[in-house]
Amino acid sequence: MLAPPEGAVAGVDVRGAAPGTRETDLLDPRRLVRRINAVLLTGGSAYGLAAADGVMRGLESDGWGYPLTRGPGPAASERIVPIVPAAVVFDLGRGGDFGARPDAATGLAAYRAATGPAGTGPVVSGVVGAGTGAVVGALKGGVGSASAVLSSGATVAALVVLNAAGSAVHQPTGELYGARFGLGSGAEAEFAALRPPDPAELAAALDAGLLRSALEGPLRATTLSVLGTDARLSKAECCLLAGMGADGLARAVRPVHTMVDGDTTFALSTGARPAPELADLHELLAAGADCVTRAIVHAVLAAESVRTPAGTWPAYTAALPSTHP
């Protein structure tokens, strides 16, 4: 996710016990750097952090980064260091090849795509990008997004890479935990198309173990989220927003923030709109949590079943097709 040319104020909240991150210490309100240039969400566990090198290379070539003023001569003012916090999901080997993982070239290609015509189009959901190898419990995970316009006119939006050891499905009913938080009501509700599953279908899915959580072993999961808003926030307020986003995750996945998850939530503020008053800030924080919850539901519904040499992960809509006629 790219920040505007002038950068974005950012914060982070890390809840999982097994995170894989880079440059997150800079987002502490006590640290010097106030604005970032991009956030990278990637697969490949700790290996995948190398993709941030490629994003930095692209930003540097385009002249975006933290300006350095030390050193002799006029060239000193042209020296920059792009600030790219990053976080990874654990998906190693899910495609059948443990060595298939993002690197600097992958990161540079992602940067070029984001700055090209494709970067101005709608957000792509499902089995794409960092969500390619993602799972949620025993089902296929992926990428989802959601947004809201607040009474102040400000916007808040969430992008989630759902790759959780826990499950997004309430086993006794087969319904998604987060679906109740959709916008609207009645026939106009965001998730109005969802239905309770057929009882026989639910029983078969339960017997097959498709609705269980999947604690596969050490370092096997992690859900990543990014919240963005055009309201002007401080670094401390961005950290508050990130923390609320992590709470939104906790409403949609159970169990959450486990010993084998590295759940990490970023929050970015472009500052295009004025700083919110207290009531507006409260509304923004609450809506941010809801956006993460809703984005998780969209990730589950957009996922497609995947079969690889390492295994098979059915989509929720394939395991319980009667829920989404």
Q: Which residue from 158, 178, 130 is spatially nearest to 242, judged by alpha carbons?
A: 158
Provide the strand spans (E) within 73-215. Answer: 79-81, 86-88, 135-136, 139-140, 142-149, 155-162, 169-170, 175-176
| Percent over 70 (pLDDT), the chain | 95
In the numeric block, which tokens belong to residue 120?
Answer: 């101005």
Q: Dihedral through CA 253, CA 258, CA 260, CA 264, nearest 10? A: 70
Percent residues over pLDDT 90 in the chain: 88
- Where residue 218 falls among pLDDT bands split at 50, 70, 90? low
Sequence-distant (6+) residues with CB within 8 A of 87 are: 19, 20, 21, 22, 24, 40, 41, 42, 222, 224, 262, 264, 266
Could you tell me if 134 and 125 are in contact, meaning their C-beta atoms sit under 8 angstroms apart?
no
Q: What's the confidence (pLDDT) of residue 303?
A: 97
Q: What is the mean pLDDT of residues 17-33?
A: 95
User: Cα–Cα distance between 169 and 303 in angstroms, integer?
Assistant: 14
- Residue 227's CB: how many other CB atoms inside 10 A? 33
- 89-117: average pLDDT: 94
pLDDT tens string 60-100: 999 999 998 765 555 545 789 999 999 999 999 999 999 99
Question: What is the average pLDDT value for the chain, to the nearest integer?
Answer: 93
Cβ neighbourhood burial of 210 (10 Å; 0-12, 13-18, 19+): buried
pLDDT, one tens digit per residue, over 68-79 is 876 555 554 578
SS3 assignment, position 221: coil
Q: What are the start-end ranges of the H helices in the chain?
A: 51-62, 104-115, 199-207, 235-250, 278-302, 316-319
| Residue 231 token pair | 């309201």
- Which pLDDT score, from 0 to 100, does residue 187 have? 84
pLDDT of residue 189: 93
Please say whether the beta carbons of 226 and 41 come within 8 A: yes
Helix (H, G, I), strand (E, B) or coil at 85: coil
pLDDT exceeds 90 at position 118: no
| Superfamily of chain region 8-323 | L-amino peptidase D-ALA esterase/amidase (3.60.70.12)
Please give the structure tokens belonging to residue 81.
């260091």
What band does 220 get if pLDDT is binned at 50, 70 and 90?
A: confident
- Spatial neighbors of 185 by CB under 8 A, at least 6 apart, are none
Asked whether residue 193 carries a pLDDT value surpassing 90, the answer given is yes
Residue where the block lists tokens 């080997």? 93
Under the banding of pLDDT at 50, 70 and 90, the label for residue 219 is low
Cβ atoms of residues 91 and 313 within 8 Å: no
Q: How far is CA 319 from CA 150, 194, 303, 312, 325, in A?
A: 36, 14, 12, 12, 13
Whether residue 50 contacts residue 103, with contact meaning beta carbons closer than 8 Å, is answered with yes
User: What's the Rg (C-alpha) of the chain?
Assistant: 20
Give the pLDDT band of residue 25 (cuts 50, 70, 90).
Answer: very high
Predicted pLDDT at 109: 96
